[in-house]
Structures are given as structure tokens and as C-alpha cells.
Amino acid sequence: MNIIKLEEMLKQFFNEDIGDGDLSSEYIFSPKEQGTFSFYAKESGIFCGAPIIEHGFHVLDRSIKVNLPKKDGEAVEAGDVIAIIDGPLQKLLMGERVILNLIQRMSAIATAAHLAVQEISGTHTKICDTRKTIPGLRMLDKYAVRIGGAFNHRNGLYDAIMLKDNHIAFAGSLTNAIQAAREKVGHTVKIEVEIETKKQLDEAILAGADIIMFDNRSPEEIRAWLPAVPSSITTEASGGITLENIRAYAQTGIQWISLGSLTHSVKTFDISALVQMKGGYSIVHH
């Protein structure tokens, strides 16, 4: 993860939330008052977000001490302490919600990726994400996918050519689209094309696509069509794939499965903050 970019992102996120100041904390506590709180898991899954906790609080105050009993990629159970943070009360409370929001999302994505990878264990298929991320959070979303054991598809429009149905329609044909791209692209950039019919598959092969995505095809269709694909062409399946049917897709022999659900529809992972007090802890946020 690009730490310089991360800290710039965190500054923007804090600016949105804090604005001219945290009225609640600044009106109750003095800048010199110190405190401790911990983040703890309230469900089982894969933790992700250690850099967010460490750099997030340091953006607010370099004197804040962060202890991380759990590392990115480690399994957590309900009740496990993820981080212990010591420092000025005002700054702890200022940073708490932004940081929690981010690590809850990232842990949810990492957990979803882990579950998908586990579901296809024993096959030769690999899981990757898509560009269906929240604008502004792509670096974090894709980092979380990797932490969960899956892979990243292209990071944006700039690092690979992917010809979808609208590209093909505007170009007049799948062949026209691939040829136009091939004439201008450098040798290090791959061309991927989506196909939905056997005719499109044959056309993509003849036109020289590097990667062919079987879009919204059933496992039965993919299994029947795959023998026609030369070994030099990478194969991918996407669309309509869930944890319930992902193994059936993997067993077709497809090389990659891309899942938009890893980032566009995860349920927030439940993490809370606890303030350390005399005699124990007190929950301050869910």
C-alpha cells in the first residue's frame, strides 16, 4: 500500500468529519488529558486495516501509541482485541469513527475474499476482484481483497484494455474493437474481451484476444466452450457467481473468477471501540 497516498486520503477523510473542530471532545476534555481505548471484534472473520489504525492516528497526533495484537490477514473471533491506542483523549475521539468505518469495510472485504477462496480450494481457479469499488476507496478495497487471499483485476481504465458490450457495439464488431486496440497498444498491455455466445468466443479467438471473459454464462456453457480456447489465452468467468455456485464454476476448468460482490455488496464487519476505565472497559461505539 502506498503510505504517502494513504496519509493524504486519511487527511481528506478527517477533514470531512472534523471540519473546524470536534465540538464534543474539545468542549469536554483538555488537550493534555490522556486516555486508552481498544478496538475489538464482535464477530468472526479476517482482520484488515492495520495501516489505517497506525497511520490514521499518527496523522492526527504523532505522539499517539498504537499496539496491534492482530495483523492484517489474521483470523479473529468475537471478543478478540485488534488494537490498543494510547494518547490525547481529544485526538483519540476525533479519529475513532473514521478509522472504524474504514477497517470495518476492509475487514468485511477481506473476510468475503477469504470465504470465496476457501470455497474453491483444491481447484486450479483463482479469485479476483473488479472495478466495482466505492470511488475514493479503491486502493483500500483492493488491498483488502489481497489480504483475504484473492487477487486484483485491473486497477483502473489505465492498466489494461477490457472490451465490454458497449465498446463492441460502438466499434461495430468484436473483431473491429480488438484490431483497433491492437494497432495502438504496446506489447506489455493485454486485451480482454467479454463474450456471451459461442460465436463471440470463436471471433475473440480468431481476433487474438489475450483474455476472454465468459460473461453471465452457466457452468455448463463454460465447460462446453472451454476446449475451443487455445492454452495461450487466459480465461475468466464473471456475472451471477455466488458462494453457493462458485465451486461449480471453478470445476469447469476456468482459470479466473472475478467477483464484484467482494467490494460492492459486503456487509460491514462488526468492530467496536472500548474505553479503558478503572475496573474494566466501557463500550463507546458500535
- Known catalytic residue: 97? yes
The C-alpha atoms of residue 59 and residue 187 are separated, in whole angstroms, by 41
Position 278 confidence tier, pLDDT thresholds 50, 70, 90: very low
88 backbone dihedrals φ, ψ, rounded to 5°: -60, 130
Q: Single out the catalytic residue among 132, 182, 190, 247.
A: 132
Give dist(CA 22, CA 196) in Å, integer.
53
Residue range 244-271, pLDDT digits in tens: 999 999 999 999 999 999 999 999 999 9
Pick the closest to residue 148 from 106, 188, 184 (CA basis).
106
Let me know if 194 is a catalytic residue: yes
Tell me the CA distances in angstroms from 98 to 7, 39, 53, 115, 222, one per residue in order: 13, 13, 10, 26, 43
Cα–Cα distance list, 195 to 152, 246, 258, 261 (Å): 21, 19, 14, 20
Give the length of the chain: 286
Can you give the pLDDT at residue 279? 45
pLDDT of 1 = 85
Set 97, 198, 199, 267: catalytic member: 97
Tens digits of per-residue pLDDT, 136-192?
999 999 999 999 999 999 999 999 999 999 999 999 999 999 999 999 998 899 999
- From CA 1, how far away is CA 114, in angstroms rounded? 19
User: Mapped to the 3 state alphabet, what secondary structure does 215-252 carry?
Assistant: ECCCHHHHHHHHHHCCCCCEEEEECCCCCCCHHHHHCC
Once rounded to an integer, what is the mean pLDDT over residues 60-67?
96
Which grid coordinates are listed for 49? 486495516
The percentage of the chain sitting over the pLDDT mark of 70, rounded to a whole number, equals: 97
pTM for this entry: 0.92
Q: Residue 283 is inside which H or E element, if any?
A: strand 280-285
**277 pLDDT tier (thresholds 50, 70, 90):** low
How far is residue 108's CA from residue 61's CA, in Å, rounded to a whole number?
A: 27
Given 22, 215, 217, 236, which residue is catalytic?
A: 215
Higher pLDDT among residues 127 and 24, named by residue: 127
Annotated catalytic residue, options 11, 65, 164, 199: 164
CA angle 156-161-167, nearest 5°? Answer: 105
Check the CA dihedral 141-144-149-155 and report its sign: positive
Which tens digit of pLDDT belongs to each residue from 189-214? Answer: 999 999 999 999 999 999 999 999 99
Counting beta carbons within 10 angstroms of the beta carbon of residue 7, is it exposed (0 to 12), middle (13 to 18) or buried (19 or more)?
A: middle
